Amino acid sequence: MRVFKGLIILTFIFSAGISFAESYRLVTDKHCKNRGVELGFTCENRNPLAPNALTITRLPANEWIGDERGNKFALEFVKEDSNVLVLNYPVLYSGIANVVLVKATGSFYFTEIGYSPALQEQSYDVESGNFFLVE
């Protein structure tokens, strides 16, 4: 009987962890960028059905993972409240990138600001679009 109760408790613990995991699919509608010294953004609309969407997943230990075209990477948690979820996104050069999910509207905004010493160029990128809960 004790073994049976133990199995029930373990089943509950493992199923509770799985139900805590959540994933969001972010689909970019618009991408604006600037390269160089001046702030002169150029923007383009993106096909919402394009395969470049980002999926972010919260793991049971409140860790966040990003998946973009099969490339998986850690995301740094910044803030979550009833209105927004904010995560830092990894940058390969000097700078910062973050993604903000606006819960009430289902919109997201991605910003990246950085400098590449190899290219000797600064860059500014802003993307916007919608996000969906992945079942």
* Residues 69-105 pLDDT 10s: 889 999 999 999 999 999 999 887 789 999 999 999 9
- Closest-CA residue to 91 (of 108, 66, 70): 66
| Terminal alpha carbon distance of the chain | 36
Name the band, by pLDDT with cuts 50, 70 and 90, for residue 119.
confident
Name the band, by pLDDT with cuts 50, 70 and 90, for residue 113.
very high
Residue 24 scores a pLDDT above 90: yes
Instruction: Note the residue count of the chain.
Output: 135
Q: What local confidence, expressed as pLDDT, does residue 45 receive?
A: 87
